Amino acid sequence: MLKKILIANRGEIAVRIVRACAEMGIRSAAVYTEPDRFSLHVKRADEAYNVGSDPLEGYLNPRKLVALAVETGCDALHPGYGFLSENAELADICAQRGIVFIGPSAEVIRRMGDKTEARKAMIAANVPVTPGTEDNLADEDEAATVAAEVGYPVMLKATSGGGGRGIRRCDDEADLRRQFSRVVSEASKAFGRADVFLEKCIVNPRHIEAQILADSQGNVIHLFERDCSIQRRNQKLIEIAPSPQLTPEQRDYIGELSVRAAEAVGYENAGTVEFLLADNQIYFMEMNTRVQVEHTITEQITGVDIVREQIRIAAGLPLGYRQEDISYRGYALQFRVNAEDPKNDFLPSFGKISRYYAPGGPGVRTDTAIYTGYNIPPYFDSMCLKLIVWGLTWEETLNRGARALNDMRVQGVRTTASYYQQILKHPDFRAGHFDTSFVEQHPELTQYSDKSRPEEVALAVAAAIAAHAGL
């Protein structure tokens, strides 16, 4: 078994990995840049090392991170999600320096990170993909020819894209020609590659993803699916496991497709296969070669500790479960509570947490790195915590989510918590009828009243009086 792991990440996922290490008797080594000096992951890890004053550079330098792992006696490195988690160079350098990379091989990361290569692999494995190009587009004329064949609307996508960037919808040829150079520019700036491909745009689909685990002995299992349809500008807000919108037959089919996809590329460790579902047709979208932000809800319904399994697999151990051992119970929701103001077009709201109270009670879990007095730095993602609730029934889970959101207090910054309460009240969401257009189609949900929390109004009034008095 591994003895010491360098966690090449920050925030709540770093805390999550520290906890898994502690339960397994493995020492944890955190890294941080200067703005994260007082972050919770630094406080919770067994050891912590400063990797620079620049807010981002230290988290994005694979050679520095692997060198630190070697210098501090670590035998493995966990990349978490984001940053370098899907960086093949990091996996390569780990292999060169004798450090176990807790994730798939560099070859698989490269193959699945290249969207056109991923499409080819899925086609070969008989996994359905959306109609589009198998290779990168040469120019906008080729894009226009392909678009005419598959039919508008279409999506122009950066081949190395991710996180909702480098994607543009085109509704006609004029729109496509106008957007083509923009996507090429975005791809070059964000991912260092100008390659672009095209897919048929599946209008208002449901976004369904399946969690898989695969070991070095060739065993692959799925842990059922998550519904990630509640999203804004391709960024997930609320995730659900299992999806309340699938039939048992669809659930089995998606699980089988996910295992087939993983086997086709020789996958090892934890990963996620993402699909679009529309008009009872299921299409492969992409494969994420890392632990997902929303792995928590799969853990809640199956009882499987995904991060623990990642570490065991990386240590060369076989999966601790067979497919027939995996079942699910109830429903789970994850709310990405972001430091944003939904009433002001979700403008980021960074600053000091003047008061934080985590909700509790049956079926409630909070994954976070914030605390009272913590300053949320403006250099990173705006997510400040993940609130996860579980219940035996869909209705119980919805009601528990509303109660937990109401119990929670994050003061000093604006958050999306009250907005999520409005979503939970909406009859379509409660009935399990929604797709990726839900947020866009219901802008009225941002027009909620803050009067339900009188202490927050009192704090705002006191702050205004103090500012006016020059205090």
Q: What is the pLDDT of residues 184-211, one digit of tens each?
A: 988 888 787 889 999 999 999 999 999 9
**CB neighbour list of residue 157: distance below 8 Å, 6 or more residues apart:** 115, 166, 167, 183, 196, 197, 198, 199
Residue given tokens 């060169």 in the structure block: 96
* Residue 455 burial by Cβ neighbours in a 10 Å radius (0-12, 13-18, 19+): exposed
Angle at CA 364, nearest 5°, toward 362 and 367? 150
Q: What is the pLDDT of residue 238?
A: 98
Nearest to 197 by CA among 163, 150, 258: 150
Assess contact for 271 and 81: CB atoms under 8 A: no
What pLDDT shows up at residue 190?
Answer: 75
51 part of a folded domain? yes
Q: Are residues 302 and 162 in the same domain?
A: no
| Whole-Å CA distances, 451 to 28, 54, 162, 418 | 44, 40, 38, 11
239 and 193 in a common domain: no
Distance, in Å, from the CA atom of 390 to the CA atom of 269, rounded to the nearest integer, reads 26
Secondary structure (3-state) at 212: strand
290 flagged as catalytic: yes
Contacts within 8 Å (CB) and 24+ apart, 16-22: 16/307, 16/367, 17/78, 17/80, 17/307, 18/44, 18/45, 19/44, 20/305, 20/307, 20/308, 20/311, 21/46, 21/311
Looking at the domain assignment, is residue 314 inside a domain? Answer: yes
Determine, yes or no, domain membership for 113: no
**Rounded to whole angstroms, how far apart are CA atoms 74 and 125?**
38
Residues 221, 84, single domain; the answer is: no
- Do 64 and 166 sit in the same domain of this protein? no
Buried b (16+ CB within 10 A) or exposed e, 273-299: bbbbbeeeebbbbbbbbbbbbbbbbbb
pLDDT tens per residue, range 389-413: 999 999 999 999 999 999 999 999 9
Tell me: do 397 and 251 sit in the same domain. yes
13's enclosing H/E stretch is: helix 11-24
- Provide the residue range defining the domain that includes 143: 131-200
State the catalytic residue, choosing from 16, 44, 206, 290: 290
Bridge partners, 365 (sequence order): 388
Task: Provide the pLDDT for residue 456.
Answer: 54
Both 98 and 219 in a single domain? no
**118 domain residue, yes or no:** no
239 and 191 fall within a common domain: no
Let me know whether 195 and 163 are in one domain.
Answer: yes
Q: Read off the pLDDT of residues 327-370 as tens digits, 9 standing for 90 and up.
A: 999 999 999 999 999 999 999 999 999 999 999 999 999 999 99
pLDDT at 431 over 90: yes
Q: Which of 38, 36, 79, 77 is nearest to 60 (CA)?
A: 79
Query: Which of 164-178, 336-350, 452-466 bottoms out in mean pLDDT, i.e. has the lowest?
Result: 452-466
The residue whose two tokens read 């807000």 is 237
Is 414 found in the same domain as 291? yes
With contact defined as beta carbons under 8 Å apart, do 26 and 4 qualify? yes
pLDDT score of 453 more than 90? no
Token readout for 181 is: 């150079």
Q: What is the largest CA-CA distance in the chain?
A: 70
Whether 64 and 15 map to the same domain: the answer is yes
Whether the CA torsion 110, 116, 117, 121 is positive or negative: it is positive
Beta-strand relationship, 100-101 and 165-170 = unpaired
Token output for 169: 């919808």
Q: Output the six-digit token pair for 269.
A: 């460790």
Confidence of residue 111 (pLDDT cuts 50, 70, 90): very high
Range with the poorest average pLDDT among 117-121, 398-402, 415-419: 117-121
Is position 55 within any domain? yes
Residues 149 and 214 in one domain: no
What share of the chain in percent tops pLDDT 90? 88
Domain limit, last residue, from 139, 174, 200: 200
Distance from the first to the final alpha carbon of the chain: 58
Side-chain-side CA neighbours of 311 within 13 Å: the count stands at: 29
Q: What is the CA radius of gyration of the chain?
A: 22
